[in-house]
Amino acid sequence: MDSLFRRAKAPAPAASAPLAPMPMLCFPGKKALRFAGDTSAAERDADLAVLMHARAHVVLASESARASTAEAAAALRAYLRVVYASKIMAGPRQQKLCFAWRDAGDEDDKKKNKSKASPAAAAAVQGQGHTSLVTEWAVALFALAAELARAAAAEDRRDADGIRRACGALCDAAGALRAAATGARGSDAVDHMCHMTDACMAAFERLMLAQALECYFELAVAGGKPPALCSKIARQVSLDYQDVSVKLGSLQQQQQQPIDKSWAPHAQAKAAYFHAEANLHRARALREQGPGSVGEAVARLRFAVSVLAAAAGKTGPLGKKSPSSSSSTAAALAPVRDAAARLRREVEAELAAAENDNCQVYYERVPAADSLKELPALPEQLVRPTAVERVLREPDGEAALANGGAPTSRH
């Protein structure tokens, strides 16, 4: 005779084409400008001539509308290897050159908001120059991190390979940001550059790692990992995004750096989304356990619905009348709002099935939401910033800083 308890098994999801995942955030980087002033003295210096040649490729990639993100990143990697070698060989002689960069924000937005721009945003539009290779190392690393973040955001994450590429690019971006922050310490020129304060770079690094862990969660779900593990990963993603939203919100309040107003609500919305995901997968794990766990599973699913409802409420990050709501912010959050709506329908269907089983088979008491224990997160980090040596590695796999960081000669 078949056991009635077999009804506790969660219904298998219907097979369908993979949906487009939620978008990733990427921050504006830097565009290299041509050298200012007379460079004839530097051109006669063999070491500096190599540096100028490598930087010319970066400038061309910055100026070309056809240059892809991969091409811009490759030019920056090659240039950074030369900068590393030049710091050792050129020494004080680099002061013969004046390096200049400008903020790589959207030009149309700059023209549209020119009259309303804050002093910090207006300064970001203008090119900023310096003569220090230490500063140049930090700015070029920041520019590379931005290109890597753009590459991750552009990846099609509807298949496992795309998810892995995005995850790797985000970890590389976090590593480049960490190296940039380390190299920028003590440099007055870097402190006055847009988005290159310690607080900004720390927030961006944390954002890159939260998005990388989101990719890890997508891989776990696509790979059919156990619901208990998916729940832990989702809970950790939620906590990471909550931390990011606090950091970005603090930067917005300081108004010293031009931070996009949609970033903090985006991170807050994803924190709520993955909190609900964590409870959904925890409920599935409990339903698989059968008797003694179904009541808590129902409570977890009810709590997941309440989390999503609060996020979509008037004061929530996904609410149409939230305090941070604006036309541009609403448009940026639309994909996250759609994903949250789909998740809520999925949770409600799971809740209906669980309540039906509990009413007809188990008759277990459903605990109150405030009596539920905090969901466990990951015991250790699954994603970390990539070491700068690996970030700058050449495509053929040669170590980036071999031979003093000089690029490999090719014919």
pLDDT value of residue 326: 67
pLDDT value of residue 319: 85
| Rounded Cα–Cα distance for residues 86 and 97 (Å) | 12
| Rounded Cα–Cα distance for residues 347 and 99 (Å) | 54
Strand order in the sheet with 30-33: 30-33, 99-103, 128-130
pLDDT value of residue 410: 37
The pTM for the full model equals 0.88
Burial class (CB in 10 A: 0-12, 13-18, 19+), 112: exposed
* SS3 letters across the chain: CCCHHHHHCCCCCCCCCCCCCCCCCCCCCEEEECCCCCCHHHHCCHHHHHHHHHHHHHHHHHHCCCCCHHHHHHHHHHHHHHHHHHHHHCHHHHHHCCEEEEECCCHHHHHHCCCCCCHHHHHHHCCEEECCHHHHHHHHHHHHHHHHHHHHHHCCCCCHHHHHHHHHHHHHHHHHHHHHHHHHCCCHHHHCCCCCCHHHHHHHHHHHHHHHHHHHHHHHHHCCCCHHHHHHHHHHHHHHHHHHHHHHHHHHHHCCCCCCCCHHHHHHHHHHHHHHHHHHHHHHHHHHHCCCCHHHHHHHHHHHHHHHHHHCCCCCCCCCCCCCCCHHHHHHHHHHHHHHHHHHHHHHHHHHHHHHHHHHHHCCCCCCHHHCCCCCCCCCCCCCCCCHHHHCCCCCCCCCCHHHHCCCCCC
| Rounded Cα–Cα distance for residues 280 and 329 (Å) | 28
| Rounded Cα–Cα distance for residues 64 and 75 (Å) | 13
Q: How many C-beta neighbours within 10 Å does residue 39 have?
A: 16
Q: How many C-beta neighbours within 10 Å does residue 338 have?
A: 14
Domains and CATH numbers, the chain: 27-196 (1.25.40.280), 225-379 (1.25.40.280)
Q: What is the pLDDT of residues 83-131, one digit of tens each?
A: 998 876 656 666 778 999 999 864 444 444 444 444 444 444 457 888 8
pLDDT value of residue 129: 87
**Identity of the amino acid at 76:** L
Please report, in tens digits, the pLDDT of each residue of the chain (411 residues total).
344 444 445 555 544 556 779 999 999 999 999 997 888 888 888 888 899 999 999 999 999 988 899 999 999 999 999 999 887 665 666 677 899 999 986 444 444 444 444 444 444 445 788 888 889 999 999 999 999 999 999 999 999 999 999 999 999 999 999 999 999 887 777 877 889 999 999 999 999 999 999 999 999 999 999 999 999 999 999 999 999 999 999 998 877 678 899 999 999 999 999 999 999 999 999 999 999 999 999 999 999 999 999 999 989 999 876 655 567 788 889 999 999 999 999 999 999 999 999 999 999 999 999 999 999 999 999 999 999 999 998 765 444 444 444 444 333
| Rounded Cα–Cα distance for residues 43 and 52 (Å) | 8
**Identity of the amino acid at 124:** A
* Closest CA relative to residue 298, chosen from 226, 372, 237, 375: 372
Burial class (CB in 10 A: 0-12, 13-18, 19+), 161: exposed
Q: What are phi and psi of 32, to 5 degrees?
A: -75, 140
